[in-house]
Structure 1
Amino acid sequence: MDDILKVGKYLVDHAEEIVTEMIDSALENVEFEVTDEMIQQSIKINVEFLTLLVDSFEDSNEVAAAELVKWSKKNGEQQAAMLSQLSTMIKPYAKNRLMYLENINRISMEHDLSTEDVLKINNRISYLLDVSMIETIFAYEAYRDDQLKDRQKEINELSAPIVPIQHGIAVLPLIGVIDYSRVQHLLNNVLPTIPTLDIDHLIIDFSGILTIDSEVAQHIFTIHNVLQLLGIHIMFTGIRPNLSMAVVQAGIDFTSFNTYGSVKQAIESLR
């Protein structure tokens, strides 16, 4: 163990030099443009990893992995912020892993470590590299999922605005694909604001809808019933044949609704 710790001290003392040399070699396998900022970030990440590796020499695999998991989660978010695709990060992993092992093995043999000690270091590096990659992928996916949720929220807000057009009259234009997420946004965010807008008549316009299924159609017509209970007169416009079929399949009775071909016709009916 003393010999392994001596190698560990050498690795820490020369970490930046060792890492920079390995990154220079790794760049030969990279198929995308690498900025100076990305190189410096990569050096920082790998120096931290090398230090964690050395610190783990006296620990069990389980203890070493627990410390690495915390670090890998942060690393995964940084990688997600820099790279647009997960495959960009994974593709060079096998070659870089082999290069990492070859360099550490060379240093270990230069310090006259026994074959047994070289294998111990080799196994520890392999184990921690795999743990790091797995946790980095998990963190990467979580970061991307959060980004997608934020973007979907923005899309929902932009695609279902309440537009006042005359005193007491407003239009709710539905645009794009109406799915469960969009309906939940309508129910939880748009619907509660309508009673505060001093609206007597609300025109819900379907002319911008691409697709809709029967379950979602049922939710939208539930919105109609809720607003009617609040004393708001609801009119539907722009209902095309594909939406009509979804409404029929949902078992919704059209006869109790005020429907018009266009927003203009609905406004004229109020006059």
Structure 2
Amino acid sequence: MANNYLSKECVTDFLKANREDFQQKLLSEAVNVRGKISDILEKGNIDLLKNAELVAHYIVENKEEELIAFAKVEGIAWAQHALTLAFKLEWVHAIRRTLWHFLYQYDEQFGEDESPRKTFFDLEKRINDNVDQFLNNFFISYSNYKDEQLMSQKKLVQNLSVPIIPIHSTIAVLPLIGMIDSYRVNALEEKVLMEIGSMRIQTLIIDLSGMADMELDVLFQFEKILSGINMMGCKAILTGLRVELVRKIVDSGIEFDSLVEIKGTLQQTLKEHL
């Protein structure tokens, strides 16, 4: 019995010979996914039924390298097309249940009346370990792709949120728009000091007229940025200070006077320097 039960060629042939029944059983196990088969194929060019058969064969044949490689490819594909992870999880568990169903059918058809206990548990461990291996590598691949995509988007946002605009060989304008939080002020510090050095900026005009608000802890960090600009040998000019922000600066006890020159508007400052 043991030779039949663990013979990968025979079990694979059995699955191939019963492909339609395998697919029907799989669809009956994946209640929520079966109605999305066509949508997933159309949206991500992912053939769930064909891929399920491939995964089942890799699992049965214990082809660990092929299984892991395919899981990684699948993870990237699902991440690229933003497909629902809940569907994938349900689908893989449906493959697990369907595979066990057909292994039972195979054993009932070709095995002895009673399966040796050790043979069964060895097979159970191998099949379930392989399914878990697929799931783990799928989710790691999916997560890594999303993390890389998120990091790329963060870098893009950083560049857009800290737009240093050169208006002269030694003069640049930095318009700050919207809310400045701790994450954005860190990006601001990194890019401003770097750009002052690389662009050889001698005067940086920081316009705050479009800025929504700045929390107290961010104000203290902003003071450090102004100090850093000063240490780089660059003159900082603040324009567009709004009443609310001025009050917050006064109440905080922070003094920008020694670090920056303060002007009323960006237009006024540009006239003076150009």
Hey, what's the Cα distance between the residues in 2 that align with 1:16 and 1:249? 77
Unaligned ranges ≥5, structure 1? 57-63
Cα distance in 2 between the residues matched to 1:208 and 1:18 = 67
Task: Report what 2:100 is aligned to.
Answer: 101
User: % of aligned pairs identical?
Assistant: 24
How much has 1:166 moved relative to structure 2? 4.5
Of the three residues 260, 267, 273, the one matched with 1:264 is: 267
CA drift of 1:149 comes to 0.9
Superposition CA RMSD, Å: 3.6
Which of these residues, 215, 224, 241, is aligned with residue 217 of structure 2? 215
> How far 1:145 moved relative to its partner?
1.5
- In the superposition, the TM-score normalised over structure 2's length comes to 0.74
Q: Is the 8 A contact 2:208 2:239 kept in 1?
A: yes
Provide closer, same or farther for how the CA distance between residues 249 and 76 of structure 1 changes in structure 2, counting only shifts above 3 A.
farther
**For residue 59 of structure 1, what is the aligned residue in structure 2?**
none
SS at match of 1:216: helix
Listed as ranges, the matches of 1:242-261 within 5 Å are 243-244=245-246, 247=249, 251-256=253-258, 257-261=260-264
SS in structure 2 opposite 1:253? coil
Whether the aligned pair in 1 keeps the contact of 2:238 and 2:262 (CA below 8 Å) is yes
Q: CA deviation at 1:211?
A: 4.6
Give ranges in structure 2 of 5+ residues lacking alignment. none
- Which residue pairs with 2:9 in the alignment? 9
Residues in 2 aligned to 1:95 and 1:128: alpha-carbon distance in whole angstroms? 14
**Number of the residue aligned with 2:41:** 35
* SS of residue paired to 1:255: coil
Instruction: Give the deviation of 1:72 after TM superposition.
Output: 4.0
User: How far apart, CA to CA, are the structure 2 residues paired with 1:260 and 1:118?
Assistant: 81
- 1:254 is paired with a residue whose SS is coil
Residues 73-84 of structure 1: pairs in structure 2 closer than 5 A: 73-84=72-83
3-state DSSP of counterpart to 1:205: strand
Indicate the larger mover: 157-166 or 144-153.
Answer: 157-166
**CA distances 1:190-243 after superposition (whole Å, capped 9, x unpaired):** 422223435332111233334543333333322222222333221122334554
Deviation of the 1:93 alpha carbon: 4.3
TM-score (norm 1): 0.75
1:198–1:255 Cα change, 3 Å: closer
Match of 2:172 among 156, 170, 173: 170
Give the CA deviation at 1:159. Answer: 2.0
Q: In structure 1, what is the Cα distance between the partners aligned to 2:159 and 2:184?
A: 9
